[in-house]
Amino acid sequence: MARSDRFLNLAENVATLSLGVRRARIGCVVAKGSRVLATAANTSNNIPGNLVTNDRLSKHAEQGAINLCNPQGATIYVVRLMADGSRGMARPCKFCWADLLKVGVRSVVYSDWSGEAKIELVRE
């Protein structure tokens, strides 16, 4: 199994931990080389930032994961888990993309609508 497949599978497992989310269960893994630096799931399906929902902060999975480690030079892996268990589009939103750029993430591997992995370098 390729390293990217292993990290995408881990991101899919992390997505099952999404709290308070009905539609978009997202899991994120931050990795450098073969080492996992952090994992996180989204906590609600609202816009990113400081929205308080059910007495907790709303966070996208990417935001949660990069706040748990030093992601400079790392690759993040993001998977959206659909209601039927398949993978859906998980390209980070523009707010998360800006955060990834700011902290120096090198690249993003995410699931697309067909469930296949797409890779993008993080740049403006």
Prediction pTM value? 0.87
Q: Which residues constitute the domain of residue 80?
A: 3-121
26 close to 42: Cβ distance less than 8 angstroms:
yes
Average pLDDT score over residue span 52-67: 73
At 87-121, the pLDDT tens digits run 999 999 999 999 999 999 999 999 999 989 999 99
Confidence of residue 44 (pLDDT cuts 50, 70, 90): low
**DSSP secondary-structure letter at 96?**
H
Query: What is the number of structural domains in the chain?
Result: 1
Q: What percent of the chain has pLDDT over 70?
A: 85
CA distance 39 to 26: 11
Average pLDDT score over residue span 51-57: 47
Give the CATH number for residue 17: 3.40.140.10
Terminal-residue alpha carbon distance, the chain: 32
Give the start-end residues of each E strand in the chain.
25-32, 35-41, 52-53, 56-57, 75-81, 87-88, 107-111, 117-121
pLDDT value of residue 54: 44
CA distance 62 to 96: 6
pLDDT at residue 57 is higher than 80 = no
Kindly state the greatest CA–CA separation across the chain.
Answer: 40
Mean pLDDT of the chain: 87
